[in-house]
Amino acid sequence: MRVGSSAVGDLIVPSPLRGEGQGEGFFTTGNRRCLLMTTRAWLLADSPTSRWQASAGRTYRVFTQLLRNPLSVLGGVIILVLLLTAALAPWIAPYSATGQDLANRLMPPSAAHWMGTDELGRDIFSRVIWGSQITLTIVLLVALISAPLGLIIGAVAGYFGGWVDKILMGITDIFLSLPKLILALAFVAALGPGINNAVIAIAITSWPAYARIARAETLTIRNAEYIQAVQLAGGGPIRLIVRHILPLCTSSMIIRVTLDMAGVILTAAGLGFIGLGAQPPLPEWGAMISRGRTFILDQWWVATMPGFAIIIVSLGFCFLGDGLRDVLDPKSEGKS
């Protein structure tokens, strides 16, 4: 909002009144506080003195805003726990993920087996923990393949327009018109079951949505005066797309990808459930539910425990995505 700020804002004469004055009171209370406050003041400085400080300050502002929303904090914590679990699986998991113990088949949750055991006597808790690695791998690989692909195709289509746009968006529309899971199914069926193929299949089905977003965003940015100014300075299309258009698309892309992660997990689980994703004995959550289905009435925990894991992680991504949307939305930029 311009109100109020611009009255003082047009000071061309250097003035010591602005910004710097706020920090002074902080230096009176204790050394530790002082150090904290100077870092904060450095980050929030009105006039950063280096490129690095300017971008660090921006990141800090985004981060503090994110912390104000309890749901996004919850989402962040869930994702953090997921990351830690995946990284520390060998140390956290009390049993092996694949070690069978036929004497203890289908045991209900107990002190020894927190989530019970499955039909081969494997500890479900350990399998869920090891499964987090698989889920995380799928999610990350899908994001790394589909988001940049969609981003570039969309930005190129939007920037050049004309027949480039028609061809690229035609292809995008063909992919978009098919239901995601069915398309993924077809690809996996053709490529053969397995995690890698599942990742490829999911990535192939999810880039078109990103391409659409990137194109729409590019269309609104393409004729902006700051883009024209770079054109007038002699900047070519590659520089314009990569350095000026893509940075503005990324925030909406990060939001969308985070929100879609829940869907990716579910699709991966779905493929695992049908038997086209991860193959036994890999502890993939979807595949685990599929195995547990047979006993769902008598031994509910076999299918339910990995189900919980899927729901919690999906929710985590959703919450985080929602929070990111509030913070990164370019329309709210500059108000804070």
Partner 1 sequence: MNALTLENLDISYGDTQVVHGVNLSIAEGESFALVGESGSGKSTILRAIAGLAPDWEGEITVMGEKRSHRVERSVSRQVQMVFQDPYGSLHPRKTIDAALSEPLAIHGIANRGERVEAMLTAVGLDRRFRFRYPHQLSGGQRQRVAIARALMLEPKVMLLDEPTSALDVSVQAEILNLLKRLRREQGLTFLLVTHNLPIVSFLCDRLAVMRHGRIVEIADVAQLKAGQLVEPYSRELLAATEGT
Partner 2 sequence: MTPLLAVEDLRVSFPTHSGRVEVVKGISFTLGRERLGIVGESGSGKSMTGRSILKLIRKPGLVTADRMEFDGIDLTALSEHQMRAIRGARISMVMQDPKFSLNPVMTVGEQIAEALLTHQKLARKDVHQRVIAMLEAVRINDPERVAKLYPHEVSGGMGQRVMIAMMLIPEPELLIADEPTSALDVSVQAQVLDIIDELVRNKGMGLILISHDLALVSRYCDRILVMNAGTIVEECAAGELANAQHPYTRGLLAAMPTIDEAREELPVLDRTQWAGT
Per CB under 8 A, residues contacting partner 1 are: 2, 5-6, 9-10, 12, 14, 46-51, 53-54, 58, 224-226, 228-235, 239, 244, 247-248, 330, 333-334
39 binds partner 2 (CB under 8 A): no
Q: Kindly tell me which residue out of 11, 77, 311, 312 binds partner 2, with binding defined by CB under 8 A.
A: 11
Among residues 108 and 237, whose Cβ is nearest to partner 1? 237
User: Which residue in this structure is represented by tokens 């694949």?
Assistant: 98
Both structure tokens of 166: 């028609």
d(CA 191, CA 185): 10
Among residues 64 and 96, whose Cβ is nearest to partner 2? 64
51 binds, among partner 2, partner 1, none (CB under 5 to 8 A by kind): partner 1
Among residues 11 and 182, whose Cβ is nearest to partner 2? 11
The length of the chain is 336
6 binds partner 2 (CB under 8 A): yes
228 binds, among partner 1, partner 2, none (CB under 5 to 8 A by kind): partner 1
d(CA 178, CA 167): 18
Those residues whose C-beta lies under 8 Å from the C-beta of residue 306, and which sit 6 or more positions away, are 124, 127, 128, 131, 285, 286, 288, 289, 292
Least Å distance between CB 230 and partner 1? 6
331 binds partner 2 (CB under 8 A): no
Among residues 248 and 282, whose Cβ is nearest to partner 1? 248
d(CA 290, CA 102): 20
51 binds partner 2 (CB under 8 A): no
4 binds partner 2 (CB under 8 A): yes
Question: Residue 44 class from Cβ within 10 Å (0-12 exposed, 13-18 middle, 19+ buried)?
Answer: middle
Half-sphere exposure of 133 (CA within 13 A, CB side): 14
Among residues 11 and 87, whose Cβ is nearest to partner 1? 11
CA angle 268–272–274, rounded 5-degree value:
120
Cα separations in angstroms, 109 against 113, 194, 303: 6, 30, 13
3 binds, among partner 1, partner 2, none (CB under 5 to 8 A by kind): partner 2
Among residues 174 and 242, whose Cβ is nearest to partner 1? 242
Least Å distance between CB 46 and partner 2? 11
Half-sphere exposure of 278 (CA within 13 A, CB side): 25
22 binds, among partner 1, partner 2, none (CB under 5 to 8 A by kind): partner 2
Least Å distance between CB 61 and partner 2? 9
235 binds, among partner 2, partner 1, none (CB under 5 to 8 A by kind): partner 1
4 binds, among partner 1, partner 2, none (CB under 5 to 8 A by kind): partner 2
59 binds partner 2 (CB under 8 A): no
296 binds partner 2 (CB under 8 A): no
d(CA 313, CA 304): 14
d(CA 66, CA 69): 6
DSSP 278: S
Among residues 2 and 32, whose Cβ is nearest to partner 2? 2
Both structure tokens of 13: 């004469």
Among residues 5 and 223, whose Cβ is nearest to partner 2? 5
Reference 155, options 223, 221, 205; nearest CA is 221
What residue ranges bind partner 2 (CB under 8 A)?
Answer: 1-11, 13, 15, 17, 22, 336
